[in-house]
Each structure stands twice: as structure tokens, then as C-alpha cells.
Amino acid sequence: MAEESIYDLIPKVSPPKPKPPRYVSKFPSDVPPSYSTFGRAKHSASGAHNVAGEFSPKEPSHSHKKGGATFGTSSPHKPDFSKYKTKKIKDLPAPKKFTYGERRKPKLDTKLEKKHVPKREKKNFVTQNAVNNILEVHGMEAWGKKPDTKTRFVNKADYGKVPEYLKGIKADIKAEKEFIDHMLEKNKAAETESRGRMMDEQERQELLIALKVKWQEVNEKYSQVNHKFVHVAPSDGSKNTKGGGKKNRTRISHMSETGTVGETKRKEQYEKELDELDAAIKKLSRGAVLVVED
């Protein structure tokens, strides 16, 4: 087992990685590429060269290499700036003084003429407008016709009466409204008949008697639980009639509970049932009853 040393804390310099050998292709560099089109754009030879991809193809009439295609021509070339733009040059005309012709605008007048400013009129446009409206010709006189002063419309037979065409329109509107009301009532009656039926008188009486018997039974149970609570009546001494007028239960303002929690819940349940039975008895006591089936 190797022992620990404080020198191990010093980072060690890793030796440099040796470079891999330079890549050298196994194919010669002077071989034209397959299907080369170099140097064949403006010649009569075929558009591609070395189609077979040979290493030493036969030298065609046009080489795939262009002289100076990348770095310029092989012969030295030095431009002569003195010969630039000298092919069609002629002698320049003699210099002469330039003067403006008719393009020049006339000089500005330094002495500006003072324009005539009209005086402000003190005119009341409101008064003038009222006078013009009063004096203006209105009515038939404006069209060049004389007004008929002899005819008095007050003396006509139909003055102040409703025209006949308005009576016809009102009659049509009334008939249309009556027809719409009749159709609505008819649809409502048909819908009511399809949804429900009228209860027979015998069935209504039997149901009313059954509800009253049920109310009597619930009231007896309610009385057995109710005596355990102390009720305080309101100051006005009003009563709340229950059971279609057969029994009276005192409306309480507050009570002092002496029963258990279960008795309190049963008392509230009996009161709810009595209220529902009272409402049903009142509905059946009115007369005809429509039974709607869900």
C-alpha cells in the first residue's frame, strides 16, 4: 500500500500529447477529379472529364487546369497608370469666364409696397340675420305661386277626424294581435294536456283526507316532543294556524331547551313536515288540481 505524502497535493504537470502523423492521401494530387468540368465551359469538348476516374488519364485537347486561374497569370504584369483613359482623349477647349444667362431671378424689391387693408365693419350679424329671415319670402310665394286665402280647412267635413286608412290599419293590427293570443293559448293548452291531467274530484277528496290524517299523526308525535321545551309566546299574542284550521300551534319567539339533541332534531323535523302538509292541504282545498307527470 502506497504511503500518503504532502507532495501529492502539488498538481503534477501532465506530459504533452504526441501529435498524430500528418494525413497523406493514397491518391495522387495531380489527378483530375471524376466528372470534372473545369476548363470546359467555352470549348467544343465534352462537358465532363475523367469520367472513369483513372489515375493517369489521357491528356485531352483542353486541360482541366487553367493557367493563373487562382493567383493570376504566370507572366509578370505591372499596370501603367499614365495610359489610363487615353484611347479617345482630345484636346480640351480653351477656358473662358462663366456667366449666368436668363436663369437668374429678378432682384428683390427692397421697398415693399404697403397693401391696402380694408377697415373692419361694425356689423351686428345676429340682428342682420333676424331681419333677413323676417323679410325673406316663404311658402308658395317663394315658388312664384299665390296662396289660397279663400279655402278654410276648418270648415271641411273630415277636419279633426281620424282618416279612414288609419282605421283599417288599426283593425288589421287588432285582428293580428287576437290571432297571436289565440294561438298562444292554444299551444299552452296543448302543452298542458301533453304534460299532465286534471285530477278527479273523488281522487282529490281521498288525497285531502289522507293528508289530514297524516297531519294528525305527525301533530301527535310533535306534541309528545314539544312538551319538553318551554316556549315563550310573542308580546302581541299572535297565533300560527296549522293543519287547515283544525289545530293551533303557538308561534314562539324563543325557547328554553330541556330535551336531548335527538329530541331537538325530531322536533325540527316534525315542524318541517307539518309545514309541508299544511301547504299541500291548502293547494288541494282550492278546487281543480292539475297533475303534471315528470
Supply the pLDDT for residue 247.
46
Distance between CA atoms of residues 255 and 231, nearest Å: 5
As a dihedral over the C-alpha atoms of residue 38, residue 40, residue 42, residue 47, rounded to 10 degrees, the angle is -130
86 vs 15: which has the higher pLDDT: 15
Is residue 254 predicted with pLDDT exceeding 90? no
Supply the pLDDT for residue 239.
44
Phi first, then psi: give them for residue 168, nearest 5 degrees. Answer: -65, -40
3-class secondary structure per residue, the chain: CCCCCHHHHCCCCCCCCCCCCCCCCCCCCCCCCCCECCCCCCCCCCCCECCCCCCCCCCCCCCCCCCCCCCCCCCCCCCCHHHCCCCCCCCCCCCCCCCCCCCCCCCCCCCCCCCCCCCCCCCCHHHHHHHHHHHCCCHHHHHCCCCCCCCCHHHCCCCCCCCHHHHHHHHHHHHHHHHHHHHHHHHHHHHHHHHEEECCHHHHHHHHHHHHHHHHHHHHHHHHHHCCCEEECCCCCCCEEECCCCEEECCCCEEECCCCHHHHHHHHHHHHHHHHHHHHHHHHCCCCCEEECC
Q: Are 247 and 206 in contact (CB under 8 A)?
A: no
Supply the pLDDT for residue 41.
65
Supply the pLDDT for residue 278.
92
pLDDT in tens, 110-119: 666 666 777 8
Lowest mean per-residue pLDDT among 180-184, 221-225, 244-248: 244-248
Q: Cell 345676429 identifies what position?
A: 126
Distance between CA atoms of residues 219 and 208, nearest Å: 16
Average pLDDT over residues 123-148: 80
Supply the pLDDT for residue 91.
75
pLDDT in tens, 259-276: 688 888 888 999 999 999
Average pLDDT value for the chain:
76
Supply the pLDDT for residue 93.
79
Distance between CA atoms of residues 66 and 40, nearest Å: 10
